[in-house]
Structures are given as C-alpha cells and as structure tokens.
Amino acid sequence: MLHDKDLVSIQEVRTKVETAYAAWQKYRPFTQQQVDAVVESMAAAGRAHARRLAELAVEETGYGNVPDKLAKNLLCADLLPRRMRGMKTVGVIREIQEEKVVEMAVPVGVVAAILPTTNPTSTAIFKTLISLKAGNAVVISPHPNARSCTCETSDLLARAASEAGAPEGLIQCITNPTIEGTNALMRHERTGVILSTGGHGIVRAAYSSGKPAFGVGPGNVPVLIDRSADVEEAVNKAVDGKAFDYGTVCSSEQAIVAEAAIKDRVIAQLKARRAFFCNPAQKEALGKLLVTPNWTINPKCVGQAPTKIARMAGFEVPADTSILVAELEGVGKQHPLSIEKLSPVLALYFPKDFSAALEICESLLHFGGLGHTCVIHAKDDARIREFALRMPANRVLVNTAAPHGSTGITTNVFPSMTLGCGAAAGNITSDNVGPQHLFNIKRLAYAVRRPEEALEIPPVETPGVVAPGAAVPIDRQSVVSAVERYLSSRGVGAPAPPAPAVTQAVVGNLAAQVVDRFLARRHQAAGTTAEASTPPCGHSCPQGVQGRPAEALPVLPPPPPPPVLDFVCEEDVRTAIREARKIFIGPKTIVTPSARELASRSDILVLAER
C-alpha cells in the first residue's frame, strides 16, 4: 500500500484521468441539446448551493468574505450559463453558405483544471461548466489548502450532471493534491488542454508541460480618475472593487491615479468611504509586511480584512475601515506597495496632469500587471480612447469597479474567472476564457475556383519578348521602319535602321504580315495565276513593284520557320486559344500532361521540323 503523498497523488491522477477519458468517449456523441441539459442541471445545483459553498471556502481557506464569495459563485452558476445559452459548441457550429465552408466543433477531450486557493469554489464551477459545455471531461486539481470545499463543489456538480444523463465519471476531483500530482495531471497523455489558475510557478509549469495551456498573469491594475469624471462615483467604485472579497480577485484595483487638480476631492471621498490613510511609518511597516524579500505577497496577508492586516503591521485602524491607502511617489522596488497586493490595500498617486497620469499607469502595468486590466473613470471620450490605446492591458474598463467589469458582471465581456493576458505576459490568449477556447474547429471546405483563377502569376520578362495581352506603344516611325526592313530583307529598297528590341519584335512581325497580304492582293489584281507568279521561294509576288517588271525582281529568301518551343504548359495553351493561334513544337519539346489534354480539344499543337 502506498504511503508517500506524492506517489498516492500521482496514482490517483492516473486513475481519475483514465476514468474521465472513458466517460468522455460516451459523452462525445451527445447532441447540443443533451450537452446543454447537462450544463443547465449543473448550473442549477451551483445556484442552489452557492451560499453554502461560499461559507465552506472562507472557513477552509480563511481568505475573503462570504457575501463576495457568494457573488463570485453566482457569477459562474448564474450569469455564465445565461451567457452560454444558445452558444453552439457541439457538431456543426456555423455554415457560411456564400463561402461554401462548414465549421464543426471538435472537443479536446480531458481538461486539466488547476484551481487557486483564493477562489476555490467559484473557479471549480466555472471550469467545470465551460469544459462540459465544450463537450469535454474535466479533472480538477484543487489547491491543497482548499481541497475540501473544491471537492465538495465538484461532487455536487458531478451528481447534477449524472441526473441530467451525463456518463458517470465525466467530472473528477483529486482528493490528494500535491505538486507532483498536479504535474502528473498536466503531463498525462490523455490530457487534452490545461486551464491553470494560480501563482506564477503553476502557470509556468502548465506552459512547460508540453500540453496546450491557458494560464493567466498577475494584475497590477491602475485606475485613472480623469478630471472629467464624476469623482464621487469614481472613488466609490474604486473602493468597492478594492474591498471586494478583500482583494483576492487578480483584477482588483491596485492604485488610484488622479490629477493633482482633483486631489482634494478624491481624498475627501475616500475618507467618506472609510478608507484609512497610512502615515509614512505605517506605510513603511505595511510594505515590509505585505512584500517578501523575493517580491512575492506574504500569503498570511492575502484576502484578509484591513483591520487584521493593519494589526499584523503593528498599528490599529477603526473597526469599520473599508481599505488601507498609502500615497506613493513612484513605481518600482523602492516602492513595495506599487505591486499587486491581493489584499484591501490601495496605492495613491497624484500626478500634475493627464500626460503624467498616463506615464504612471503604464509603469504600474509594466511592474507586474502587463496585459491584464486597467480602468479609467472619465466622461471625455477622447481621453478614454487615448488611455485605451496607450495602456499595455487587454481589458480596458470604463467607469466601473475593476473586478466586476473584468469578469463580465458590469460589462459585456465574456463572464469568466480566467482572464488571459496575451503574448506580452506569456499567455496563449488575451481573452476572457470560455467554452469557445476548449474545442478545435474542423472546416469542411468545397472547391469554388480553379488554381489558375485564384493566383495571378506575373509573366517572366524577357528582352524582345512581349507577354500575351500586354500593350506595346507603337508610333508611326516604328511602323515605317519595320516595313522598310522587311522590304530590304526581300531585296527591295535600302536597309532601314534598327528599332528598339520590343518594338522591333512586335512591329516587325506585324509589318511582314501586312506587306505579304498587300503584295498578294496586287498580284491577284494583275490576273496572274499562281503557277506563273509563284517563284521557287513559295511566295506569291506580283509581276512588278514600283513600276519594275517582274523579271527584274530579285528572288526573295524563304520566310523564317515558325518558332518551336522547348516547353509548353497549360497556361501557354490557354493563351494560344484566346489569341486563336497555333503552338509549334518539335520532337524534343516537353509538353505537360495538362497542356496536352487541353490542346487536344482545340487542335492547338503543331509538330514542326527543326
């Protein structure tokens, strides 16, 4: 019998992944209607037990408070399923008739759901619902300090899913979680994708597992209060967001940045909301308490009440204190409270103007919140847009509390507990993760054009050769010169000067044809028979040119043989068909099969002797 915790955890992971995978095989044929029935049953169970699960989470972890934990549970069990209703995630999800493309959802299989200790029940509801909505199974790995409440949530959802017809074993939860067990889950061959929520270490491990993974980054959320804002409303929302579940949401406000012109109004409203202003000594003590030498947050302070944190730092605050605030002069390691604090502690900045405020907000995001979330309170839309374009964050919220806006409670972003931070933060997505991220899309695509209709291949330019259909500028002098050269080649008239290469090639050929036809008509008008007038050269020449008798005319050389091509492709044949001309080939000419097939229909190819 195994006694080593890591070995026990690894064996449990292996067993439960195989169980979930076997159940998924039975779940795969479910229709959209059947899948939706399973999701609705789980959501109803989550709503019915939302308060009890919130109480279990606070009791076991000691983080946050029950009312706000309840709100997060309802976000995932109520708002999320309402948003997912009607979303196609199984079978054919879209058909683009005008493009003749059909899109089909393909589930990834087993989802490895790694959970944090700060939001153990709400995240369990969230990841289970989106996994099964996308047609997958799920194996949950709880944080060791939140094992009981997470497993209770998982069992509740599993029973509800079974009651709606889902296969037994589709939802699994690891009851002996360890780091080694979690790593085994992420690397298991049956694992299709990883949903990782937690600290930097676990997110990095997920991305290093060799499996597709959705992780998140830290959120050092700046809140800019512009002079055009309703200052009272803006401060109230910032306090609500910072105090929400004692700051455990990664998108909670971390700093208020307000122009100096409205500093007094901001401070007055903060005091009206029972914010406690730390003096320099208290600020220094708070920084030493919250931030470890390794620049991580002291876990004993995470999600604790402001009164408790102040007491741990060595000073007392009124019992009704909502948050602790500290005015800072800069951003960086010289200012410990300028990082993400995961507690009801808020930094304050009062720069001289809007431009300086933008600088501070951008610095805060680069100092531990890159790609995550930022907030602006303003009525001036030009400044709102300037702020949004400038900030390196993927959720730019306007006139809302940050946790509520980022998770979709007060905005129309997708309701989510997994907020991607994009490539800048090393994340695979910048989206609020949902079921749409947990299936692949297969595309059925019908042929709508031939290759030659899709690609415009420019012709190879050769000196003296004009591409088919290309326009060549021809002036009067070029035509005269070409005619004179042709007559000279037949021994008639004086030699003409050469023309440019391209013009000579085109006009010379044209001139030869015109002169030949002209001379032939003159010959026919004189009533000369072909036998009497046709010289050994094979040309039909008239008996006299420019008043000279026929016997005085020199014998003209034969015309040059037609050009024989070395290579003929399908496009050459198509061009010849359009121009109603023949293609002359020799015994060694290479003709592509497609060109020969096309030419056979129009009798284009002519075998010529070289």
pLDDT more than 90, % of the chain: 69
Establish if 230 belongs to a structural domain: yes
Q: What is the DSSP string of 506-541?
A: HHHHHHHHHHHHHHHHHHHHTT--HHHH--TTS---
> What's at 490, amino acid-wise?
R
Residue 286: CB atoms within 10 A of its CB come to 25
Residue environment code for 51-68, b if the CB has 16+ CB neighbours within 10 A, otherwise e: ebbbebbbebbebbbbeb
- What interhelical angle do 120-133 and 66-74 show, nearest 10? 0
Q: What is the pLDDT of residue 294?
A: 87
**Co-location of 105 and 158 in the same domain:** yes
∠ CA 419-425-426 to the nearest 5 degrees? 100
Residue 567 scores a pLDDT above 70: yes
In a domain, 10, yes or no: yes
**Is 454 a member of any domain?**
no
* Residue 74: predicted pLDDT: 98
pLDDT at 467: 56
Domain around 575: 564-607
- Helix 5-27 vs helix 179-187: crossing angle, to nearest 10: 30
- Predicted model pTM: 0.76
Q: What is the CATH number of the domain that holds 161?
A: 3.40.605.10
Closest Cα partner for 270 from 347, 205, 218?
347
Q: Are residues 208 and 232 in the same domain?
A: no
Final residue of a domain: which of 445, 465, 500?
445
Please check the confidence at residue 130 and state whether its pLDDT lies above 50. Answer: yes
Q: How high does pLDDT run on average in the chain?
A: 88
Assess if residue 455 is contained within a domain.
Answer: no
Share of the chain above pLDDT 70, in %: 83
Which secondary structure element, helix H or strand E, spans residue 236, and what is its range?
Answer: helix 231-243
pLDDT at 171: 98
483 and 400 share a domain? no
**Tally of structural domains, the chain:** 4
Question: Do 131 and 241 fall into the same domain?
Answer: no
Indicate if 120 and 59 belong to the same structural domain. yes
Q: What is the pLDDT of residue 42?
A: 98
Question: For residue 542, what pLDDT band results from cuts at 50, 70 and 90?
Answer: very low
The per-residue pLDDT for range 420-476, each reduced to its tens digit, is: 999 988 899 999 999 999 999 999 999 999 988 888 878 776 665 555 555 555 566
What tens digit of pLDDT does each residue of 227-258 get? 999 999 999 999 999 999 999 999 999 999 99
pLDDT at 95: 96
Q: Is residue 528 in a domain?
A: yes
* Residue 556 binned pLDDT confidence (cut-offs 50, 70, 90): low
Q: Of 532, 552, 572, at which residue does a domain stop?
A: 552
Q: 178-182, 326-330, 463-467, 598-602: which range is least confident on average?
A: 463-467
The predicted structure's pLDDT at residue 342 = 94
Whether residue 59 has pLDDT greater than 60: yes
Rounded to an integer, what distance in angstroms lies between the CA atom of residue 321 and that of residue 340?
20
Mean pLDDT to the nearest integer, 339-351:
97
In a domain, 304, yes or no: yes
Which pLDDT band holds residue 355 (cuts at 50, 70, 90)?
very high
Same domain, 97 and 130: yes
Instruction: Give a yes or no: residue 422 inside a domain.
Output: no
Residue 487 pLDDT level (bands cut at 50, 70, 90):
low
Selection from 49, 47, 53, 111 nearest residue 81 by Cα: 47
258 in the same domain as 131: no
Do 115 and 183 fall into the same domain? yes
Same domain membership, residue 241 and residue 190? no
Whether the Cβ atoms of residue 427 and residue 215 lie closer than 8 Å to each other: yes
- Long-range contacts: 299-304, Cβ < 8 Å, 24+? 301/342, 301/343, 302/63, 302/118, 302/248, 302/342, 302/343, 303/61, 303/62, 303/63, 303/64, 303/118, 303/245, 303/246, 303/247, 303/248, 303/342, 303/343, 304/62, 304/63, 304/246, 304/343, 304/344
368, 486: one domain: no
pLDDT, position 563: 84
Q: Does the structure show a pLDDT above 60 at 386?
A: yes
Is residue 295 in a domain? yes
Answer whether residue 518 shows pLDDT above 70: no
Do 373 and 513 have their domain in common?
no
**Confidence band, pLDDT 50/70/90 cuts, at residue 537:** very low
**Which are the catalytic amino acids?**
250
Kindly state the average pLDDT of the residues 145-158. Answer: 98
- Residue finishing a domain among 413, 428, 463: 413
Domain with 225 in it: what CATH number? 3.40.309.10
Sheet of strand 439-445, all strands in order from the earlier edge strand to the far edge: 91-96, 101-107, 439-445
User: pLDDT digits over 168-215, tens only?
Assistant: 999 999 999 999 999 999 999 999 999 998 777 888 888 888 999 998
Q: Are residues 30 and 141 in the same domain?
A: yes
Phi, psi of 287, deg, nearest 5: -65, -40
